């Protein structure tokens, strides 16, 4: 038999060994690639900052449906009276007591006038929640409302627009700017709830617009609060304390969203 002079036996053996090693290396590389792919699939997914922001916004915007009315409007709310008002060295800590929660209503039905209704409608208001609080001496009363809006920017725009609807107040010195309609009840306790507004304001909290209207609980005629600095300070502190408490609970930032790590998560 003639010898293969171009490919001696030694060369052919070396070639077969090289091919076998190359195949082995390629096989290991394929195995490693598959293992990495499986590991990546099983590891928890990491959301991008944009995804985290969207998930957080979604959770906060649905909170008004998931929370019970008693969580949105707690039974007791602490607030403080500035030290300079009572001529003391430290603020006086007080509490406001919730006395009623109104049923959920449409936005236009729960505000004082058409200007306020137009602002809420223009910014996509979905519903308005309300509750009433009194102070520990039953001297002051405040209705706080939560207007549910689609986005934080809509709530901020509504707050700005609501603050600008002051034409009525400019024409009539005893009138107040647009705001939340006070919650009124009938029966033996009607005197506690039926009051004239003395002050009104709004604040934006994420996708929520928090509105409040405060006054004397005994339905006395509107008195210029500037003539009674103590009443002005306590009424304002109470109203702002309740509004800020409601706003902070609704707009509290949830923990950073994360994937539990299940395959395909």
Separation between Cα atoms, residue 25 and residue 19, nearest integer Å: 10
pLDDT in tens, 232-251: 888 899 999 999 999 999 98
- Flag whether pLDDT at 262 surpasses 60: no
- Flag whether pLDDT at 66 surpasses 90: no
Enclosing domain of residue 124 = 53-250
What is the average pLDDT score of the chain?
77
Residue 258 covered by a domain: no
pLDDT mean over 60-89: 85
pLDDT in tens, 104-141: 999 999 998 888 999 999 999 999 999 999 998 888 88
- Flag whether pLDDT at 155 surpasses 90: yes
Higher pLDDT, 117 or 91: 117
Q: Is 240 helix (H, G, I), strand (E, B) or coil?
A: helix
Q: Tell me the two tokens of residue 53.
A: 């922001």
Angle at 35 between CA 33 and CA 41, to 5 degrees: 105
Task: For residues 72 and 25, state if they share a domain.
Answer: no
Residue 256 covered by a domain: no
Give the pLDDT confidence score for residue 175 in this predicted structure. 61
The alpha carbon of residue 251 and the mean position of all alpha carbons in its chain are separated, in whole angstroms, by 2
Tally of domains within the chain:
2
Q: Of 172-181, 205-214, 253-262, give the range with the top mean pLDDT.
A: 205-214
Task: For residues 167 and 230, state if they share a domain.
Answer: yes
Task: For residues 92 and 15, state if they share a domain.
Answer: no
């Amino acid at each position: 038999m003639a010898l293969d002079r171009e490919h001696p036996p030694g060369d052919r053996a070396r070639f077969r060994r090289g091919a076998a090693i190359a195949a082995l290396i390629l096989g290991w590389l394929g195995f490693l690639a598959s293992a990495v792919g499986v590991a990546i699939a099983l590891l928890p997914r990491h959301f991008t900052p944009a995804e985290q922001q969207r998930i957080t916004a979604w959770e906060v915007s649905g909170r008004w449906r998931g929370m019970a009315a008693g969580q949105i409007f707690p039974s007791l709310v602490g607030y403080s009276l500035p030290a300079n008002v009572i001529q003391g060295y430290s603020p006086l800590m007080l509490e406001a007591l919730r006395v009623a929660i109104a049923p959920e209503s449409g936005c236009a039905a729960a505000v004082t006038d058409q200007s306020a209704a137009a602002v809420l409608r223009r910014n996509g208001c979905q519903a308005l929640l309300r509750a009433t609080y009194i102070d520990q001496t039953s001297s002051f009363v405040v209705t706080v409302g939560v207007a549910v809006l689609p986005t934080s920017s809509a709530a901020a725009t509504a707050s700005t627009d609501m603050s600008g609807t002051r034409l009525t107040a400019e024409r009539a010195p005893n009138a107040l700017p647009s705001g939340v309609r006070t919650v009124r009840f009938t029966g033996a306790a009607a005197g506690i709830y039926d009051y004239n507004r003395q002050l009104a304001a709004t604040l934006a909290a994420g996708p929520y617009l928090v509105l409040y209207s405060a006054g004397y609980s005994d339905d006395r005629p509107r008195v210029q609060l500037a003539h009674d600095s103590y009443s002005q300070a306590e009424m304002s502190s109470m109203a702002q304390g309740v509004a800020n408490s409601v706003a902070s609970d609704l707009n509290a930032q949830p923990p950073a969203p994360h994937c539990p790590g299940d395959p395909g998560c």
